[in-house]
Every structure is written in C-alpha cells, then in structure tokens.
Chain A
Amino acid sequence: MTARLYGLLAEFAEAEQLRAAVLRAREEGGYVAIEAYSPFPIEGMDAAMGQRRTWLPFWMLVGAIGGGSFTYWLEWFSAVANYPINVGGRPTFSWPAFIPPAVEMTILWAVLLGVAAVLLGSWLPRVHHPLFASRAFERASSDRFFLLVRSYDPNFDAQGTQAFLESLSPLSVTEVAEE
C-alpha cells in the first residue's frame, strides 16, 4: 500500500445522524478539514458545517448589472451614436423601448454567472475523484450519508480519528486512498 490516505469516510443511515456527527466532529474532535455528503440538501447542514455564506448571489448580481447595463449601452450606442436613423419621427434615444432587451439580458447574464458560480465554486466539473473509488460511496447519491475527515487535518491521526469516527456509531468507517 504505497497510496497515501485521502481521508477516513464514515457512513450513516440518516440525515440527522450526519448532521449530529458533523457537529461533534467540529466541536469535540476539533476537525476542520471535514466534508459531509448527502443524497439531498439537509436543512441546518450549512450551520453545522460553519459555512453560512456563499459568494454566488454576489456573482449573480454582477451578472445582472453587467448584462443589463451593457445591453442598454449597446442599444444607445448603435441607435444614437453609431448609426442614428429617424424612424417615423421617434427620438433616436427611445429609452423606454430600449428597456425590454436590457431586462432579458439582465436575467440571462445573472443566470449564466450563477451557473459559473455553482460549478467553479464547487471545483466542478471534476469527473474523477478519490471518493469515487470507494464502493460504499456509490450510495451517497441514493440513500446514505457520509462524513469525510481529510488526512491533512491538523488533528488527523489514522488510529485516533478512526476511533473517534467509530464513536459516532456509523454503519462503517473506511479508508479512502489518494488517487
């Protein structure tokens, strides 16, 4: 076994057990490099993980303001500055008529940056991952809940952490190898 340890993976049957385990791992075990995996978003998990905020809404706001104002500017530029045409005596800067395309682009760019924030913020796409080598982990997407303690955690020590995870009464604790 030359492969380095990626972390220790504890398997639970219920969402509440996982949430409680995360809380205990952070408070009693003092672990910081932990990850929780579940087949559906668990209410209160953000608080348990100590992660309350994400930058995603900020990026969506940037997309909204950027997309909307650029489109509005483009309309002004093309219809007023670059090539003004008199259409039935209407003002070249027909500002109310320029709003609809800008509104649509506000929404589109907010969502585009939102998608980028979901994926890049989570370091996805990443089709290969050490956890995928674990047979048990295949059920993380259907009916099992997992707590992972990474090997680089300052409090990590193979035997001690194993014992700690066992104390949380999981279904199993397995080693995950670095790829």
Chain B
Amino acid sequence: MSAVLPRDTLPPVIAPGETNASISATISDATLRRPTGWLWLGGFGLSVLLCALLSVGTVWLLYAGVGIFGLNIPVAWSFFIANYVWWIAIGMGGTFISAAMYLTRQGWRNSINRFAEAMTVFAVSVSGIFPILHLGRPWFFYWLFPYPDIMNLWPQWRSSLEWDFWAILAYLIVSILYWYIGMLPDLATLRDRAPNLLQARFYGLLSLGWRGEARHWMRLEKFNLITAGLAVTLVFSVHSMVALDFSEGLVPGWHETIFPPFFVAGALFSGFAMVLTLGIPLRRWFGFEAYLTERHIVNMAKMMLAAGLFVDYSYMSELFTAFYSRDRYDLAMTLHRVFGFYGWAFWGTVVLNVVQIQLLWIPRVRRSAGAVFVISLGVLIGMWLERFMLIVTSLYEDFLPSAWGLFWPTFWDICFLIGSIGLFFFMFLLFTRLLPVLSMFELRKLAHKLHPATASAPSDVEAAS
C-alpha cells in the first residue's frame, strides 16, 4: 500500500497563481516572441529533407507504378496500408481527447486539446495520401466521388473501401473545422498581442475579426458542444470503417467481427501514445510546466494503459477464437502468425503493446515524464508492427500452399514510411511556431473556475509599473 501515492500529491491542473494575463502572455509569447531555436531549426531541416524524399518517391511512383514496392500476389497489401491505418489511428486519439473529454467535463483536457487536435489534422492529412497513391492509377482517385459524368460511372456503394473514402473525407474536414473554429479566440489574442504589423495582419486575417462578444461566445460554445458529440461518433465510425476494409474480406485473420472495436481501441491507444510523445517535449521546450503538469502526464498514461488493455484483450480473443473455432485455415494462419516467418512481428507487438505498458501500473513510472515518453514511443512502434503483422501474416500463406509467398520491403516502401513521418513533423513543427499551441481561452476559463480569487489578478508588469 505504501507504494500507492495519494492522488492529492499531484499538482493541480493549472498551477495556482496563473492569471488571465499570465496565461495569455506565456502561451502567445511562445508563438509570437520566442526566438527560433537551433533544436527547432534542426528538426525542421530534417523534416524538410524527409519531405523531399517523400516527393521523390511520389514522382517515381507516378512514373513507374506500384511495381516499385515489394508487393506481389499473394501479399498485395503491406506497408502502404499499414502506414495508412497507423496514421489515421493516431488522429483518433486527438479527437477523442478534445471531444469525449469535453463532454465528460475533464478540465485537464483543456491544456492538451489544441495540440492534440493539430496532431489529428496532420495525421489524417498524412494518412490520406496512402490509399490514394496505392490505387495504381492515383490520378483517377476522384472516381470514388459520385459526380455526373459521361461514362455513367457511379461508385460501388456496397464496398467498404468506398465507405472508407467517405469516412476519411468527413473526418478530415470535420477535424480541420473543429480545430480552426475553436482556435479563433486564441488567434484574436495573437492578433492583439502581435509585436509588429505583419504579424498583426496575419493573425488578424486568420482570426476573422473575433472580438469575444458574449453572443459570439454563446454560439461558439454551443457549436463546440454539439460538434464534440458528433466527433465522438465520427471517431468510432471512421475507425470501424477502416477495420471493415479488412473484415469484409474473406481472408482468415481479417474476416472477424471483433475488428471494428479492436481497431478503435488500437486507434485510441496509439493516439494517446502520440499525444504523450508530442506533449512531453513540448512541455519542456516551451516551459509549459504550469499548464501541462505531472497530473496531465499521469492521467494520459492511465488512459493509454486502459486503451492498451482493451487492445491486449483483443489479441487474446483473436488467438482464442482461432482455437475455439477449430477452423483449419484460421488455425493455420494463427500458427503462421505466431511461429512463422514473420513471427518477430507478432512477438515484437506483444513485447511493445502488451508487456512494456504493464509498467504503467507502477505510480512512480507514470510520474516520470522520461519513462512515459519512452513507453509511448514503444507503443507507436508496436502499433505499426501490429498493423504490419495483421496485414502481411494474413496474406502470405492463405488457402492454397502453391500460392504462398513472402513479402520483402523495397527501398521505396521504407522511403514512404519515413517520408510520411517527415511530412507529419514538417506540419507539426510549423504549427508550434505559427499557431497558439495551447488553448488559451479554455485555460482562462478553467483558471477562473479553479482559482476564482486569483485568476483576474493584475499581471506582474502592471504591479511593477
């Protein structure tokens, strides 16, 4: 019992003594006045290089076709689909934090939701390039859209791949709008605090003239509330459709009813891991310890552990079902998955997604930002391995032994994986320089609620003058 730290030893969600003035100053100055550091420049340079690699890969893909990848029959899906599922899943975590935890009134989510939503927007944007470039003839991707054309061509509405198109389309647009409309008041703060005319005009245009009028707030809050409700539905439906891409097929290892909830749990798991992977360095580099406290890390770690346990349950259920069903193909696939050529992917997934996260049961581990950061990185890698394992080990040895074959990634497979990480960080690093990284108005509201006596105290500058 002595190892269990009482909850009260954690710092409050916002450090006491934080005022409207200090919240506005700290967070907006991180965007407006903070000099660009070498660390940022180095990271940005690296991400630009990776984006260049991605561009070269895309041009080569458009010229040469999908033959540049290691794909073949029987393994016709591999890295690209794994990347796609991985990225869109990461996005889900951000929406869940900002929407579901808004509905459940979790005050601590106010420090996280802005950059989590930014992460969602960027991850979904990155994920969208994979299914399109994987089409074989990507320039016809708009055939997925029902438009009146002289070919009398309509989409195949019964296909889960078509559902997926609508799901990504809706998810991308909704997450961008939810993010942007929620950012208007903070863009107005940046406009009003801008040190020069150029910045004032930039943020002035972006903020659309937001003035913080009472009736405007009322509409914004109502919109945020209803959209949060819809966004939760969207998280579950979009990732269920990603799962249906697989379970609608008849391949052993894919054709499972557990897939939609299993994928949603995996999405939240990797999304929380990415939020921690981004939040822990952000907190340190921008000096946001007053807003992203130890409590936030502990809470997020608990959420990640909970989502991870759902995922682990699904792994066990999959294995159990194979043996319980006694279906010879399902059994063979399961044995190949666990002990076959790609067994390392299975065992790697087990180590990263099942074993190492159990460390989060220990309060001391949860309270250590470094340990949580390392575990989250492990979860991100583990979730990519899991997608690779699910996709490739279901395909490479299917019904007919004469058709069995192995998959080997080519340089271009790896180029698109690394390049997509570069593209994500390119966008995220720009975000940290150009836009408000934490939600100032929601933090002000929270400070007013938690510390009503001090939240409106005059700023230090005024007290000194």
Q: Which residues of A contact B (CB under 8 A)?
A: 13-15, 22, 35-42, 45-46, 49, 51, 54, 56-57, 60, 71, 74-75, 78-79, 82-83, 87, 90, 94, 97-98, 100-101, 103-105, 107-108, 110-112, 114-115, 117-119, 121-122, 124-129, 131, 138-143
Do A124 and B223 touch (CB < 8 A)?
Answer: no
Asked if B230 lies at the interface with its beta carbon under 8 angstroms from chain A, I say yes
Which A residues lie within 8 Å of B217 (CB)?
38, 40-42, 45
B214 at the interface (CB under 8 A from A): yes
Write out the residue numbers on chain B whose beta carbons fall within 8 Å of the beta carbon of A118.
181, 216, 219-220, 223
Task: Name the contact of A49 in the complex, choosing from B163, B214, B234, B441 (C-beta under 8 A).
Answer: B214
Partner of B214, one of A38, A60, A117, A141: A38
Q: How far is the CA of A82 from the CA of B458 in the complex (A)?
A: 68
Query: Which residues 153-183 of B sit at the A interface, judged by CB distance below 8 A?
Result: 154-158, 160, 162-163, 166-167, 169-171, 173-174, 177-178, 181
Contact among A22, A38, A71, A119 for B208, CB-based, below 8 A: A119
Q: Considering the complex, which residues of chain B in the window 204-233 have a beta carbon less than 8 Å from any beta carbon of chain A?
A: 204-205, 208-223, 226-227, 230-231, 233
Q: How far is the CB of B435 from chain A (nearest CB, A)?
A: 15
Closest chain B residue to A71 by CB distance?
Answer: B166
Closest to A38 in B: B212
Q: Taking CB as reference atom, which chain B residue is nearest A98?
A: B157
Q: CB distance A121 to B220 under 8 Å?
A: no
A79 CA to B310 CA, complexed, in Å: 39
- Residues of B close to A14: CB separation below 8 A: 456
Enumerate 16 A-B pairs (CB-CB under 8 Å) in ascending A order. A36-B214, A40-B445, A40-B448, A45-B214, A45-B217, A51-B218, A56-B223, A100-B163, A101-B166, A107-B230, A108-B169, A111-B174, A127-B209, A140-B212, A141-B210, A143-B21
User: Cβ of A114: which chain B residues have Cβ within 8 Å of it?
Assistant: 223, 226-227
Query: What 6 A-B pairs come out closest when comparing CB atoms?
Result: A142-B24, A125-B208, A143-B20, A78-B154, A41-B217, A104-B170
Chief secondary structure at chain B's binding surface: helix
* Chain B residues, Cβ within 8 Å of A71: 166
Contact present for A111 and B157 (CB under 8 Å): no
Q: Are A101 and B442 in contact (CB under 8 A)?
A: no
> Among A79, A107, A112, which residue has its beta carbon within 8 angstroms of that of B234?
A107
* B158 CB contact (under 8 Å) in A36, A87, A115: A87
CA distance in complex: A22, B213 (Å): 13
Say yes or no: A39 contacts B170, CB within 8 Å.
Answer: no
Cross-chain contact B214 with A121 (CB below 8 angstroms):
no
With both chains docked as a complex, state the minimum distance between the C-beta of A50 and any C-beta of chain B, in angstroms. Answer: 10
For B205, what are the chain A residues with a Cβ–Cβ distance below 8 Å?
127
A41 touches B441 (CB 8 A): yes
Measured CB to CB, the nearest residue on chain B to A109 is B170
**With A and B bound together, what is the CA distance between A133 and B275 in angstroms?**
40
B157 contacts A75, CB within 8 Å?
yes
Interface residue ranges, B against A (CB under 8 Å): 19-21, 24-25, 28, 146, 152, 154-158, 160, 162-163, 166-167, 169-171, 173-174, 177-178, 181, 185, 188-189, 191-193, 204-205, 208-223, 226-227, 230-231, 233-234, 237-238, 241, 440-442, 444-445, 448, 456, 458-459
| CA gap between A38 and B440 in the complex, in Å | 13
- B458: chain A residues at CB < 8 Å are 13
Q: Which of A79, A83, A104, A124 contacts B237 (CB 8 A)?
A: A104
What is the minimal beta-carbon distance from B244 to any residue of chain A, in angstroms? 8
Contact A104 B167, CB 8 Å, known A38-B217, A40-B441, A57-B226: yes
Contact between A46 and B20 (Cβ–Cβ < 8 Å)? no
Cβ–Cβ < 8 Å partners of A54 in chain B: 215, 218-219, 222
User: Which of A35, A57, A122: most chain B CB closer than 10 A?
Assistant: A122
Q: Give bound CA distance, A143 to B146, whole Å.
A: 50
User: Of all chain A residues, which has the CB nearest B186?
Assistant: A141
Assembly CA distance A101 to B227 (angstroms)? 18
Across-interface contacts of B222 in A (CB, < 8 A): 54, 56-57
Could you tell me the distance in whole angstroms from the C-beta of A55 to the nearest C-beta in chain B?
A: 9
B181 surroundings in chain A (CB, below 8 A): 115, 118
- Cα–Cα distance between A90 and B174 once the two chains are bound (Å): 33
B230 and A142 within 8 A (CB): no
Contact A124 B185 (CB under 8 A): no
Given contacts A49-B215, A118-B223, A127-B205, contact A111 B210 (CB under 8 A): no
Residue of B nearest to A124 (CB): B208
Is B157 within 8 A of A101, CB to CB? Answer: yes
Chain A residues, Cβ within 8 Å of B218: 41, 45-46, 51, 54
Judge whether A115 and B223 touch: CB under 8 Å. yes
C-alpha spacing A127/B203, complex, angstroms = 10
Check A41 against B174 for contact (C-beta < 8 Å).
Answer: no
CA distance A143 to B448 in the complex (A): 11
CB contact between A78 and one of B19, B24, B157, B171 (< 8 Å): that residue: B157
A143–B456 contact, CB under 8 A?
A: yes
Shortest Cβ gap from B173 to chain A (Å): 6
| Chain A, Cβ-Cβ closest to B19 | A143
Chain A hits for B157, CB < 8 A: 75, 78-79, 94, 97-98, 101
Question: Once bound together, how far apart are the Cα atoms of A121 and B459, in whole Å?
Answer: 34
Shortest CB distance A95–B (Å): 10
Contact with B209, one of A37, A74, A83, A128 (Cβ below 8 angstroms) = A128
Cβ contact within 8 Å between A97 and B158: yes
- Shortest Cβ gap from B144 to chain A (Å): 11
Chain A residue contacts of B170, Cβ below 8 A: 104-105, 107-108
Point out the residues of chain A lying under 8 angstroms from B24, CB to CB: 39, 141-143
A107-B174 in contact given A37-B211, A141-B185 (Cβ < 8 Å):
yes
Q: How far is the CB of A102 from chain B (nearest CB, A)?
A: 9
Cβ of B342 to closest chain A Cβ, rounded Å? 31
- Inter-subunit contact A122/B233 (CB<8 Å): no
Question: Nearest residue in A to B204 (C-beta to C-beta)?
Answer: A127
Residues of A within 8 A of B212 (CB): 37-39, 140-141
Q: Across the interface, do A142 and B211 meet the contact criterion of CB distance under 8 Å? A: no
